Every structure is written in structure tokens, then in C-alpha cells.
Amino acid sequence: MNAAYSREKRLERIGASPRWDGEAFRNTHAAPPRRDVPMPTLKEFLCGGERRVPQSPLPAADPRQIWPRAPQTGLRATWLGHSTVLLEIDGWRVLTDPVWGPRASPSRFIGPKRFQPVPVSMSELPRLDVVLVSHDHYDHLDFTTMRLLRRVNVPIVTSLGVGAHLEAFGIAPERIVELDWGDTHRVPGTDLTLSATPSQHFSGRGLKDRNRTLWSSWVIGTQRHRVFFSGDTGLTPEYADTRARFGPFDLVMLEIGAFHPAWGNIHLGPENALAAHDLLGGGPLLPIHWGTFNLALHPWDEPVETLLRLAPSGTRLLLPRLGQPIEPAHEIPHETWWRGVDAQAAPTPATDQLPAEMPWPID
């Protein structure tokens, strides 16, 4: 497939999407900013809030001794930070929203910086069967990581239109698969399928490309297991439809972090993550999108603490350390490993932090 053909077919598919209005992609349900809560200002992002960054390194595990052994139950997940998860599912490996770069930003010098390096380098990952990119925001589609992936002959499945970014980063067009909501792709040579499902978010990497590419949640499945991966999303009733079509799920991965009341329609946060979990039919819940970047004004550990406080009795929360492989079918004791990280350090004001995504123009 040459680049010109790829661009022509991409534009044709975008134009045919029910979500495309002729100028941009739209959510199924309107998701305007909340008017009852003021939008954070740029000044607040730069120097507002307390404890936005941990004062010492977070506890992390080394998964390299575990990965060579197949999971006993056929399904294993290793959270590597933010929305980056290595899924091992019935002999196949899926890497979600891989971000190894030092910042979730278009700049090497300013923007949200990682709290600490990923527990393993990309070269230490086991062989991958597919990489999944949910949408084009900087904390999910990372230039540094994609440049490294140019040298790895692995397919990349993503939302409609995002392939243009990947090609610009040097990914060969024949490695890219773009899906609209409702589309399913079977990875060649496997029984692994990836299905793009509705979410409620937005896209864009600059000031002039707002919503020119699609955003998605995902179902990753084999004949034996089903995994739900939220990407970024607000709470949408469409998750009940996803449950009806694809459930039940053996693992549900939902974003809980970087939240603010003004973003309540396009990010879940802990409370809405629990509501989404219920719509999806329950199942072991692995919270993602926290503990890696300073993307909001709340303390860095508030998402997980709020989730623990609000979770109904009986909710199967999976709370692994960074780099700790877990099998959702196993009973995993709750370990509040993040507590105490700041105990011996004084809070430091947040600096050098521009948001990785601007939901709407800030004041």
C-alpha cells in the first residue's frame, strides 16, 4: 500500500463514518463543558494544587522473570504506567497505548513529565502480536515510542484517521489498521480480535486539528477471554450496548485519573468509572490513566484513594504496582503500595506543567 493510496482510502472511510459531520468527528451524545464549574486556568495548571507529583519514586516490580512463563489462566496484565498495559491473552500479546517518552507533550522541554521511567525499556518487552492506540492525544500516542516501533514489525490497530499521524512518524502504511466504531479486526495468524467501540471524548494534537481523528474504547478478545479497554472517555450509556454485544468481560480497564469536575463529560474519574463498570457488567477492574503524569490539579494519588472509598463492597479491584504482572482470575490481595510515598517529603508546588490535552479553550 503506497502513501497516496492510503490517504485516499482514509479520507473515503472518514467521509463514510456516521460519526463524521463533514468537518469533524462527533460523540453520539453531546458532551459540552459543564457550566456550573469553572474551567481551570493556565495559571492553575502551571502552579496550582498541592501534591501533584509524588515526592519519591513509586514502588515498581520487574516483570522480566515472569513474562517468559505463560499465565496459568491464559490471561495476564502488566500495568506499565498510565494507559500502557501489556496484555497476555491465550498466547498472544497486546500492548495498549504505549508511552515511553519522558513527557506527554509536543515539546521536549515543557509539558507533563513522567513521575519516573517505565519499569522496563521497550527493548525488554517480549515479542508483541499487536499494538493498540486508542486515540491521538499525547499521553496515548507518543512520538518517541512510535519512532522506536518503526523498527519492530508489529501491526498497529487504531481509531479511524489516526493512521495519518503514524505514517508521519515513519510507520509503514501496511502495518496500520484503522477502525470505526463497530469494526472488528482479526490479527493475522491469531484468533485475536480487536473491536472499536463507542467512547465519549475528543481528539487533536494541535490548535487546528480538533476532532479530525476518531477516539475509541476497545474490546480485545479470543475464543476464551474478553477484555475491555476504555481509552479516554466520559460516562456514556453506550457502554450498556457494549456489554450486550461483547460481555461478560474477564478484565475491565477503566481510566480513573486526571479528572476535574469541568471535564465530567469527557473523562470518567473514579466515581464515573464505577458507574461505567456497572454498565459494562462488572468483572475484575484494573484502574488505569493515573500514577504516571501530572495532568490535573488534584493530588497525584487522589484517583485511586477516591476509587477505594467509593467502590461498592464486592467490587474486584486490581491494584498492582507498576510492572507487576497479575492474572485477573486469581485472588489478588489489596496492597495500598502508593501510601507512604510522600510521608517523609514536604509538598512541592507543581511547575513546568502544561496539560497534555485541552478539553476546551482555557481562560
pLDDT in tens, 220-261: 999 999 999 999 999 999 999 999 999 999 999 999 998 888
Q: Is the pLDDT of residue 271 over 90?
A: yes
pLDDT in tens, 191-227: 999 999 999 999 999 888 999 999 999 999 999 999 9
Q: What is the pLDDT of residue 362?
A: 26
DSSP letters, 290-333, are -SS---SSS-TTHHHHHHHHHPPTT--B--PPBT-EE-TTS---
Residues 26-39, mean pLDDT to the nearest whole number = 79
Residues 103-115, mean pLDDT to the nearest whole number = 88
Q: What is the pLDDT of residue 313?
A: 92
pLDDT in tens, 300-309: 999 999 999 9
Residues 130-144, mean pLDDT to the nearest whole number = 97
- Report how far residue 50's alpha carbon sits from residue 47's, in angstroms, rounded to the nearest whole number: 9
Q: What is the pLDDT of residue 36?
A: 75
Q: What is the pLDDT of residue 30?
A: 84
Q: Is the pLDDT of residue 349 over 70?
A: no
Residues of the chain with pLDDT > 70, as a percent, come to 90
Q: Is the pLDDT of residue 28 over 70?
A: yes
Q: What is the pLDDT of residue 276?
A: 98
Residues 86-108, mean pLDDT to the nearest whole number = 95
Range from 47-56, 197-206, 256-265, 318-327 carrying the lowest mean pLDDT:
47-56
- Supply the mean pLDDT for the chain: 90
Q: What is the pLDDT of residue 204?
A: 95
pLDDT higher for 38 or 54? 54
Secondary structure of 84-116 in HEC code, one letter for each residue: EEEEEECCEEEEECCCCCCECCCCCCCCCECCC
Q: What is the pLDDT of residue 359?
A: 42
Q: What is the pLDDT of residue 340?
A: 86
Q: Helix 302-310 to helix 269-279 angle, to the nearest 10 degrees?
A: 50
Range from 93-102, 106-115, 125-134 carrying the lowest mean pLDDT:
106-115
Per-residue confidence band for 264, with pLDDT thresholds at 50, 70 and 90: confident
pLDDT higher for 2 or 301? 301
Residues 167-184, mean pLDDT to the nearest whole number = 96
- Report how far residue 33's alpha carbon sits from residue 161's, in angstroms, rounded to the nearest whole number: 25
Q: Enter the C-alpha cell of residue 78.
A: 502488566
Q: For residue 56, give the amino acid letter.
A: S
Residues 165/205, Cβ–Cβ less than 8 Å: yes
Q: Which of 218, 211, 134 is nearest to 182 (CA)?
A: 218
Asked if the bond preceding 248 is cis, omega within 30° of 0, the reply is yes
Q: Which of 290, 283, 219, 216 is nearest to 256 (CA)?
A: 290
Q: What is the pLDDT of residue 263?
A: 81
What domains can you pick out in the chain, each with its CATH number? 3-19+58-326 (3.60.15.10)
Of these ranges, 35-44, 172-181, 341-350, 352-361, the one predicted with the greatest mean pLDDT is 172-181
